[in-house]
Each structure stands twice: as C-alpha cells, then as structure tokens.
Structure 1
Amino acid sequence: MDFYYVKALHIIFVVTWFAGLFYIGRLFIYHVEAEKKEEPAKTILQTQYKLMSKRLWYIITWPSLFLASFFAFWMLWKNPIYLEMPWMHVKLAFVLALYFYHGFCHKIYKELQRDVIKYSATKLRIFNEAPTVILFAVVFLVVLKNSINWIWGVVGIILFGVLLMIGIRFYKKTRAKKSWDKYENELIEDDKKMRD
C-alpha cells in the first residue's frame, strides 16, 4: 500500500480517536451531574449515559486507538528515518501520555458502569482538557518539525492550559451564581405565595 494511503488512514483514525476521547469525557461529566437529579430522572439519565458510553467506548474509541497505532507503526516501519528526528521523540512522548489518558478514561468508564462515582464534575471538566493540550502539542510538532519551534509551541500549550483552567473556574462560578439567583427567586416567590 502506498505510504500516503497509510498516512491518510492514520490521520483519519487519530481524528476518530480524539473525537471519542473528547466525547467520553463529556459523558462522564453528564453522568456525574445526573447523580444530583431526583428519581426517576437520575436513573433514566444514568442508564442512558451508560449505554451511550459503552457504544462510544467500544465501537469508536478503542478501535480508533488500535487502528491509529497500527497505521502509525506501519509508517514508522516503512520510514525508520522518522525515528532519528528529535521532534518525533517528543511527539511519541505525547502519544504515550495520550495512551495513559485513555487508560485512565477506561478506569473511570468501568467505575461509572458500576455506579461508582469518585470524581466531581469540576475535576472531570479539568481532566477532559488533557487531550486538547496533547492535540495542540502533536499538531504543532508535526507541522513545525523544528526543535526550537516546538519548545515555543509547548510554552504556548502550557499558557493555553492555564487559560482553560481559568475558563473552567469562571464557568463554575457563573453556573453557581445562576443557581443561587434561581434559588433566591424561588424563595421570593414562595414568600409571596405565603403572604397572599
């Protein structure tokens, strides 16, 4: 098979792998947030999230990991010169980090399937940003292929990560304020009803 076909297939399965990782993180958050709902909504939502997670995890995400890796190893086998390039070593380190992230997602997936909730929605939101940072790093490395430029890219990624954390905290505060405002309005309405 021509090298470009293998490369195209590698890119396609990297995209589907990342899509699976991004979406599974959201499903984890929704599953944890459903824990605060009253019955029967809680059970209905968590049952649906379990089913959606199972399909996403085993039909899209795991196969994409294996196929993206298979085509990557095929490219490296056909062109071992890549293994001599410093940027490739850094890229492979990020890929290794992504494998660990995937493994940890599998652990969380198994726990949620058994109704074991160990992490808050906020912690999962922060955790869900890891593949975004890795994606930025890998794309910049592959495009720039320069040891100095990737250092600036990594610095940019760290700054991007800091901005993500600030955004998550801002979102949490905004959401908490809206919840408090809604609660206050309900109290005011209840007080009015009692006076009438």
Structure 2
Amino acid sequence: MDLTDWMFTLYPYAKSLHIMAVLSWMAGLFYLPRLFVYHVEQAEKVPESLSIFVTMEHKLHRFIMRPAMMATWGAGLFMAATPGLVDWGSVWPWSKALAVIGMTWFHYWLLMRQRDFAAGKNRFTGRRYRLMNEVPTLLMVVIVISVIFKF
C-alpha cells in the first residue's frame, strides 16, 4: 500500500475527527467571550466570583479549546495534503484557509484576554466582548459557504 492509498484509507477517520474537533473548538470560541461578559459584569457585584471565573476560563481554554484547535488543524492539514481531494486552483480552499487563520488569531486573542483576567488586568467592557463574540460566527459562515459551494 503506497502513501496515497494509506491517506485515502484514513480520510474518513480524519474527516470525522475534524468535524468533532471543529464543533468542540467552536463551542469554546462562542462560550469564552460570553464568560468574559459575565466576568466583567458580575465580578464587580460578587467579588468572591473572581476566582471561579478565572478557573472556568482557564479550564475551558486549556482542556477543551486548545486540544480541539490542535485536532482541527491536524486533521484539516491531513485532509488538505491527501492527493486529489482539494482543487487548489479554486478560490474556496484559500478563503477557508484565511478564515481558519482568522479563527486561530481569535483563539489567541481570547487567550491573551484570559491571561489579562487572571492577572487582574482586563481592559475591555462586557459590550466589547459581546461584539467580539460575533467574530467566530462571521468566520464560520465564510468557512461553511466555502466548503459547501466550493467556488
């Protein structure tokens, strides 16, 4: 069995892993900014809640979002490298790639905000976090349309 045959054999497994990882990563990308909103707005009212929010944010990022992002990238790169699956002359793989890079940037932006909260240095409002919560939605729309319509 040559490498191409091996990759085609593993493709359904990679695709399944990719879908599950994307779902988990997206859940975190939607939920962490919402936690930040609650953190900003509720921590002032209930000072004892600060450590609870910091712990929840840290665990969400470290144990769900980071592994899911890594699995998403790993399985996605495997599928992209499988010969004959992607028409690199089309626009869609490039628009998807740019949106995934944007999603990854957003992931790391959230990580920096999570670290700011842990250090007591948050500088954004709940409104700002609500607005930033729309970023993954917009990127998801680009990704799904790119993959389904394959322009």
1:114 corresponds to which residue? 119
Distance in 2 separating the partners of 1:81 and 1:118: 45
Residues 49-64 of structure 1 mapped to structure 2, 5 A cutoff? 49-64=53-68
Higher relative contact order, structure no. (Cα contacts within 8 Å, ≥ 6 residues apart): 2
Residues 130-141 of structure 1 mapped to structure 2, 5 A cutoff? 130-141=135-146
Q: Is 1:11 the equivalent of 2:15? A: no
| Matched pairs, number | 142
Distance in 2 separating the partners of 1:36 and 1:9: 40
Distance in 2 separating the partners of 1:133 and 1:97: 10
1:168 corresponds to which residue? none
- The share of aligned pairs that are identical, in percent, is 26
The one of 96, 99, 106 equivalent to 2:101 is 96
Larger radius of gyration: 1
Q: Is 1:48 the equivalent of 2:31? A: no
TM-superposition CA deviations, 1:86-141 (whole Å, max 9, x none)? 21111101111111111111110100011112001001100111001111111111
Residues 181-196 of structure 1 mapped to structure 2, 5 A cutoff? none
- Secondary structure, counterpart of 1:2 in structure 2: helix
Unaligned stretches of 5+ residues in structure 1:
147-196
Amino acid at match of 2:114: Y
> Do 2:18 and 2:76's aligned partners in 1 also have CA atoms closer than 8 Å?
yes
The one of 59, 68, 76 equivalent to 1:72 is 76
Instruction: Please report the RMSD computed on the Cα atoms of aligned residues, expressed in angstroms.
Output: 1.3
Distance in 2 separating the partners of 1:144 and 1:15: 20
- Secondary structure, counterpart of 2:20 in structure 1: helix
1:194 corresponds to which residue? none
Unaligned stretches of 5+ residues in structure 2:
1-8
Distance in 2 separating the partners of 1:48 and 1:35: 10
TM-superposition CA deviations, 1:35-70 (whole Å, max 9, x none)? 431xxx22x211111111111110000000001100
TM-superposition CA deviations, 1:5-32 (whole Å, max 9, x none)? 1111111101100011111111111111
Distance in 1 separating the partners of 2:14 and 2:93: 18
- Secondary structure, counterpart of 1:84 in structure 2: coil
TM-score by length of 1: 0.69
Moved >4 Å (runs of 4+): none
Distance in 2 separating the partners of 1:95 and 1:129: 15
1:127 corresponds to which residue? 132
> Do 2:37 and 2:130's aligned partners in 1 also have CA atoms closer than 8 Å?
yes
Distance in 2 separating the partners of 1:138 and 1:28: 25
Between Structure 1 and Structure 2, which shows a larger proportion of helix residues?
1
